[in-house]
Chains A and B, each alone.
Chain A
């Protein structure tokens, strides 16, 4: 990856060569010219068609330079909405070249190479570049910058092919094709990644790169060769991917993901720190303005700035939103890799397919003793050499429920009794029929008012409500009915009459002192 920044200057020079070749190659026929221009101008790209030779070359070059990751250039044609990649060549490994500044050397190398390849009728249009990566961890800024240069200066349809040597060595060719999306290109041009800009562009982390489907194309001759290789040789890596012990790959992906999450959280704390700083500045600024206002002066901007500079540290640049965006993208990418990797390992059981059935005998005394059997294809099963004891015959199936049978095996041979759940003895070749489909999910009860009513709280409330309404009528009925009143009076001793009423008591108390002075006056 270290070489990518140095390559970033090369596409500009290579672009000159491309346009010149396009000019010479363009036939004089007007409509072909127009077609080429139209193809060049439209940015629609549906599929990338790669020749088998490119795949092999990339694999070979990458293998050769490991552990160094050396990128290279893709050559091909841009036809309508497809991009044909028909050849490629690697950039020189910066480690091997002795010259100090290699960026010019690489550009020259590219030009020379393309010139010579053109002489042997190889498409010499640059259509992008390839880079090997480990675990697809390529969403970094230098890759984006290089890709931006390609797309901005050469052709909008330039793509980057990403090849993963680790995954490939496990037997599955891992080759993906990406290019930057149009909105992101516009954004990257301005080099502006503040929050506001990104928000206004409404850019999701998924919108940085778009993945383009890859198709592999071979000429007939190469197909013939492949056919020969396949039939004559046993050099297939078909079984590498059956290796169970390749958890290392998963481990590495997880590690990468954890690292990414870590750096994302660091990025978050940076943003938080910036926000704190910013708030402090605002606070200081406001208090300064207020102080000035109290003194009856107006604070000028320059004064505020000088005051702030004296009191606080200068505000750092806001952290780039791009970093967190890229990190999110990378994390998402890791997740996808994990899912695609695990897809091959875990397959959700298909409930409609044949579900394995197990028949088992469980000893009732010692539940550790279990004899299990998988019925044969026609569904028959038979147990041999069952030790004496009583057992429960059970069927273990995900979908259907069977009735258990009791099996008693005596110590003598031929003394086997099988009872069904009604405790009746059945003869030995028994047939088990499913009685129900097992239900794993409880139906969610929908909301209903009636359901509320059955709630005890509501019942209590309702009864008290009824009482409140009905009670007055009940008492009224007693009061209005004379007979009942009489009966009530008769039945109940007249307690009320015997107790003096409160106000009469009061009067009698009042009358006492008033009477005494009269008495004395008498």
Chain B
């Protein structure tokens, strides 16, 4: 049945991946067995009229050597368990680490095709970080055949992929990144290290990777930011963004940069969308809301002191 889809009509599927999936894959890769080159697992999500949203995944035990073995039992049990907790996420495909697709991938792909009765999505994450990027790619395999029953091979066609996250996830990622101030300098170094090692000595790198989670790196763990600190972060960011825009406009006005009409239109639109506000009205509104806030703070302080008084009374009654 796959033969009917010719390679000249690539499917217009769009893949949307949640960051959690990538997190999971990387975690799985870090926790792989000694000497193992790559890890695979099952992707869960749903297909929404050509937009395939990958929302979750779980690792699957497999071994690659002379023979390839995927623990089907494990996969099925795990799928059952996952369906119990989130029944609206059927299996949509599978993932593997590494950047290349080899013969084993074809075999695994065939296995998944039988499991899910459809074309599985194949997601690869390049944990070797070649070219200093986390190469995340999605593919879908098409059978090359001349007749409907014979198969010449498989063709993995790349699919457009984007990383999708909702508000709360954004906040989570934000919390993970924003307090990682050293993140901006540090990643360069490990990226290079790991990239070199994968190309040269795979086994040694594996050992080192295995040790990594066992050694907690104190400079890597950071505490959550308070409300005020994160607010300051937001404001600084907003400020720099406005500065950037202003610099850009000035540069265009001076004639240093060729102005992009699209950006100009966008900026004009943005400024137009601002409501015209009277300064006095604005002042009044802000003052009122500050007063409200002060009132609420006052009430909560009052409640707190009441509680403290009650507590003191109780203590003095007992002694």
A103 in contact (CB, < 8 A): no
Q: Which residues of A contact B59 (CB under 8 A)?
A: 120
C-alpha gap A90/B179 in the complex (Å) = 27
Q: Is the CB of B23 within 8 A of A225?
A: yes
CA distance A343 to B310 in the complex (A): 26
Point out the residues of chain A lying under 8 angstroms from B27, CB to CB: 51, 53, 87, 219, 222
| Chain B nearest CB, measured from A487 CB (Å) | 75
Contact with A along B116-158 (1 / 0, CB 8 A): 0000000000010100011000000000000000000000000
10 example contacts (A-B, Cβ-Cβ < 8 A) are as follows: A56-B19, A61-B86, A109-B85, A121-B32, A175-B224, A225-B19, A226-B180, A229-B19, A236-B237, A257-B300
B294: interface (CB < 8 Å) = yes
Q: Are B84 and A56 in contact (CB under 8 A)?
A: no
Q: Which residues of B are interface residues toward A (Cβ below 8 A)? A: 18-20, 22-24, 26-33, 55-56, 59-61, 74, 77-78, 81, 84-88, 127, 129, 133-134, 163, 165-180, 183-184, 186-187, 190-191, 194, 212-213, 216-217, 220-224, 226-228, 230-231, 233-235, 237-238, 289-290, 292-294, 296-297, 299-301, 303-304, 307, 310-311, 314-315, 318
Q: B318 touching A173 by the CB < 8 A rule? A: no
Inter-chain contact B77/A86, CB cutoff 8 Å? no
A79-90 vs B, CB cutoff 8 Å, 1 = contact: the mask equals 100101011011
Q: Which of B59, B61, B194, B307 counts the most chain A CB atoms within 10 A?
A: B307
Cβ contact within 8 Å between B296 and A250: yes
**With A56-B169, A250-B296: A224-B190 Cβ-Cβ less than 8 Å:** yes
- Chain A contact patch, size range: 35 or more
The interface residues of chain B, by DSSP majority, are classed as helix
A113: Cβ under 8 A from any B Cβ: yes
What residues of A have a CB within 8 angstroms of the CB of B167 in the complex?
Answer: 168-169, 171, 237, 240
Chain A positions within 8 Å of B, measured between CB atoms, are 49, 51-53, 55-57, 59-65, 70, 79, 82, 84, 86-87, 89-93, 96-97, 109, 112-113, 116, 119-122, 165, 168-173, 175, 199, 202, 204-205, 213-230, 233, 235-242, 244, 247, 250, 254, 257, 261, 328, 331-332, 334-335, 338-346
Tell me, rounded to whole Å, the shortest Cβ–Cβ distance linking A1 to chain B: 17
- Contact of B311 with A205 in the complex, beta carbons under 8 Å: yes
Please judge, given known A-B contacts A219-B27, A223-B187, whether A168 and B296 are in contact too, CB under 8 Å. Answer: no
Cβ contact within 8 Å between B176 and A216:
yes
Contacting pair A335 B304 (CB below 8 A): yes
Question: What's the nearest-Cβ distance from chain A to residue B142, in Å?
Answer: 29
Q: Are the C-beta atoms of A339 and B297 separated by less than 8 Å?
A: yes
Contact check, B61 vs A120: say whether CB atoms are below 8 A apart: yes
Partner of A221 from the list B127, B179, B300, B311 (CB cut-off 8 Å) is B127
Q: Which residues of A contact B183 (CB under 8 A)?
A: 223, 226-227, 230
A216 cross-chain contacts in B, Cβ below 8 A: 175-176, 179, 221-224
| 4 further contact pairs, Cβ within 8 A, besides A90-B86, A237-B171 | A112-B77, A199-B314, A221-B26, A241-B231
B212 to A220, Cβ gap below 8 A?
A: yes
**Across the interface, do A173 and B18 meet the contact criterion of CB distance under 8 Å?**
no
> With contacts A122-B31, A331-B303 known, is A60 near B169, CB below 8 A?
yes
Could you say which residues of chain A place their CB within 8 Å of the CB of B175? 55, 172-173, 216
Q: How far is the CB of B198 from chain A (nearest CB, A)?
A: 12
Contact B231 A55 (CB under 8 A): no
Contacts of A96 in B (CB 8 A): 84, 87
Q: Ordered nearest first, which 6 A-B pairs have the shortest CB separation?
A: A173-B175, A237-B170, A217-B221, A121-B31, A215-B221, A335-B300
With beta carbons under 8 angstroms apart, the residue of B171, B176, B216 that contacts A226 is B176
Q: Which of A56, A91, A221, A342 contacts B296 (CB 8 A)?
A: A342
In the bound complex, residues from chain B placing their C-beta under 8 Å from that of A346 are 290, 293-294, 297
Cβ-defined contact, A217 with B220, below 8 A: yes
**Chain A CB within 10 A, most for which of B23, B174, B231:** B23
Q: Are B238 and A224 in contact (CB under 8 A)?
A: no
Give the Cβ gap from A220 to chain B, nearest Cβ, in Å: 4
Q: In the complex, A120 Cα to B230 Cα: how many Å?
A: 37
The minimal Cβ–Cβ distance linking B90 to chain A, given in whole angstroms, is: 14
User: In the complex, what distance in Å separates the CA atom of A215 from the CA atom of B225?
Assistant: 10
Known: A56-B20, A219-B30. A116 touches B74 (CB 8 A): yes
Q: Which residues of A contact B304 (CB under 8 A)?
A: 332, 335
Return chain A residues, CB-CB under 8 Å to B84: 92, 96-97, 109
User: In the complex, which residues of chain B have a beta carbon less than 8 angstroms from the beta carbon of A223?
Assistant: 180, 183, 186-187, 190, 220
Report which of A53, A63, A113, A202 forms a contact with B24, defined as CB distance below 8 A. Answer: A53
Q: Do the beta carbons of B307 and A229 come within 8 Å of each other?
A: no
Structural contact, A59 and B235, CB atoms closer than 8 A: no
A335 touches B301 (CB 8 A): yes
Q: A260's closest neighbor in chain B, by CB?
A: B303
B277 to chain A, nearest CB (A): 12
B31 touches A120 (CB 8 A): yes
Decide if A225 touches B168 in the complex (CB within 8 Å): no
Q: Which residues of B contact A205 (CB under 8 A)?
A: 307, 311
Q: Write out the residue numbers on chain A whose beta carbons fall within 8 Å of the beta carbon of B18.
A: 60
Given B30, B169, B216, B292, which contacts A217 in the complex, CB threshold below 8 Å?
A: B216
> Could you tell me if B166 and A344 are in contact, using CB atoms closer than 8 angstroms?
no
Q: Is the CB of A331 within 8 A of B81?
A: no
A90-B86, A109-B81 are contacts. A214–B24 as well, Cβ < 8 Å?
no
Distance in angstroms between the alpha carbons of A70 and B77 in the assembled complex: 22
Q: In the docked arrangement, what's the CA distance between A41 and B234, Å? A: 44
Give the one of A56, A84, A328 with max B CB within 10 A: A56
Report whether A254 and B169 are in contact in the complex, using a CB–CB cutoff of 8 Å: no
CB-defined contacts of A228 to chain B, threshold 8 Å: 133-134
B235 to chain A, nearest CB (A): 7
What residue of chain A has the Cβ atom nearest to residue B162's Cβ?
A233
Q: Distance (Å) between the CB of A479 and the closest chain B CB?
A: 66
Identify the closest chain A residue to B125 (Cβ).
A225
Nearest residue (CB) in A for B135 is A228
Q: Are A60 and B20 in contact (CB under 8 A)?
A: yes
Docked Cα-Cα span, A56 to B297, in Å, equals 32
Docked Cα-Cα span, A264 to B46, in Å, equals 47
Task: Provide the residues of chain B in CB contact with A254, threshold 8 Å.
Answer: 296, 299
The answer to whether B224 and A173 have CB atoms under 8 Å apart is yes
Contact B212 A219 (CB under 8 A): yes
Name the contact of A341 in the complex, choosing from B26, B88, B227 (C-beta under 8 A). Answer: B227
Residue ID in chain B nearest A230 by CB atoms: B177
Question: Which residues of A are found within 8 Å of B81, using beta-carbon distances?
Answer: 109, 112-113, 116
CB–CB B28/A120 < 8 A? yes
Known: A223-B187, A226-B180, A343-B228. A55 touches B168 (CB 8 A): no
Tell me, rounded to whole Å, the shortest Cβ–Cβ distance linking B270 to chain A.
13
Residues on the B chain within 8 Å of A89, using CB: 85
A224 to B183, CA, bound (A): 8
Q: Is the CB of A63 within 8 A of B168?
A: yes
Q: CA A43 – CA B303 in complex, angstroms?
A: 33
Asked whether, in the complex, the Cβ of A116 is within 8 Å of the Cβ of B77, the reply is: yes
CA A505 to CA B284, docked complex, whole Å: 95
The residues of A that contact B292 with a CB separation of less than 8 Å are 247
Q: Which residues of B contact A119 (CB under 8 A)?
A: 61, 74
Cβ contact within 8 Å between B170 and A342? no
Quote the shortest CB–CB distance from B230 to chain A (angstroms): 6
CA distance A220 to B209 in the complex (A): 10
Please, which residues of chain A bring their CB within 8 A of the CB of B233?
Answer: 238
